Amino acid sequence: MWRALVVGVPVGVTLVDCCGYVARVEGVSMQPTLNPDVSGSCDFVFLSRWRWRSFVYQRGDMVSLISPKDPSQKIIKRIIALEGDLVATLGYKRRVVRVPEGHCWVEGDHTGHSLDSNFFGPVALGLVTAKASQIVWPPQRWQRLESFVPEHRLPLNLREISRASDLGETPDMTDIEE
């Protein structure tokens, strides 16, 4: 029995550290993507650590991170903007923020019901611990979690590019202030 424990514990720790783990998601900040039922049931998601070991981040990824306000708490939010992007904030101390190097801007899908970057500002990428890749419980909600940024929350610099490409034009970025 001791031999199984001596081998099993390090193997289990390595799997969790390298591959990922299942976590319970509570609260309404990611509704309707997670916990859409208001009855209080919680979704369980698989948090993939494998992809994040290379520090590859994309706008729209739903990630687990250490809360900048309470390091003992982990939260799940969506990456809205990456370093260098301009973000129109929702109640932050400045109306427009350029995300600094080594940081990202995260928000909950349930706008106005989430403690996110609109409350605490840009988040250091070092606080991101994993990507939420699929809902694994309850069984009727098994699904892969898609990466997307809602159109109304696109970074300002990407809105200009998106709008111009829709019209077949080259965007004019001279109007954006630092």
Residues catalogued as catalytic: 29, 77
The alpha helices in the chain, defined as continuous H runs, are 2-18, 117-120, 156-167
Q: How far apart (Å, rounded) are the C-alpha atoms in residues 119 and 89?
A: 9
Give the Cα separation of 45 and 152 in Å (integer).
26
The alpha carbon dihedral of 96, 124, 146, 92 has a sign of negative
| 27, 129, 156 from 148: Cα distances, Å | 21, 19, 16
